[in-house]
Amino acid sequence: PLKHNSELFTLTYGALVTQLCKDYENDEEVNKQLDKMGYNIGVRLIEDFLARSSVGRCHDFRETADVIAKVAFKMYLGITPSVTNWSPAGDEFSLILESNPLVDFVELPDNHSNLVYSSLLCGVLRGALEMVQMAVDVRFAQDTLRGDNVTEIRMKFIKRIEENLPVGDE
């Protein structure tokens, strides 16, 4: 009867967002907190990912994009976003999610129009990639919760992180 576990994560995430909306005065602050928490999760999740998938080192950003979409998203969220909209320089791309598991049954209340509900995901991706020496910028370009047809995550490669620099804890 109960779909194994998919609801648990979604419901828990929803409870978290609800709590943060209570704790913080404005949506931007909630987005920031979600992103920060996502980052903290990402820096640990990468180890779990590397241990369980058999992917080796990615040679370029295109390979990274494929691994994120086809292996990581599939493993953790059971979906495979498509990779599109590459910048000419090859340093920026979009992940298009037809469906976003985090937002099942979620509706944004009227007074939270600036809330980027799935901000946790941006932080997770950023934190995970930082652990493999890539500094990236991640943001939502489209969001079905805010009326768009699809959910689009835009990822931009900033720079390679030198391995001997200590990584700050947020």
Site residues, other proteins (CB under 8 A): 1-16, 18-19, 23, 33, 37, 40-41, 44-45, 48, 75-78, 101, 120
44/159 with CB nearer other proteins? 44
CB of 162 to other proteins, least distance (A): 27
Closest CB 135 distance from other proteins, rounded Å: 21
Give 48 or 63: the residue with its C-beta nearer to other proteins. Answer: 48
Question: Judged by CB, which is closer to other proteins: 48, or 98?
Answer: 48
Distance CA 44, CA 124 (A): 9
The conformational region for residue 5 under phi > 0 = left, psi -120 to 50 = alpha, else beta, is left
Residue 165, token pair as written in the block = 């620099």
Nearer to other proteins, 5 or 54 (CB): 5
| Strand partners of residue 159 | 135
**CB–CB of 128/46 below 8 Å?**
yes
Q: How far is the CB of 34 from other proteins (least distance, A)?
A: 10
Q: Kindly state the smallest distance separating residue 112's Cβ from other proteins, in Å.
A: 17
**DSSP character at residue 72:** I
Where do we find the tokens 């791309």? 93
- Single-letter amino acid code for the residue at 132: V
- Whichever of 73 and 140 has its CB closer to other proteins, that residue is 73
Minimum CB distance to other proteins, residue 9 (Å) = 4
Per-residue exposure over 17-42, b if at least 16 CB sit within 10 Å of its own CB, e if not: beebbeeeeebeebbbbbbebbbebb
Q: Tokens for 57?
A: 């080192």
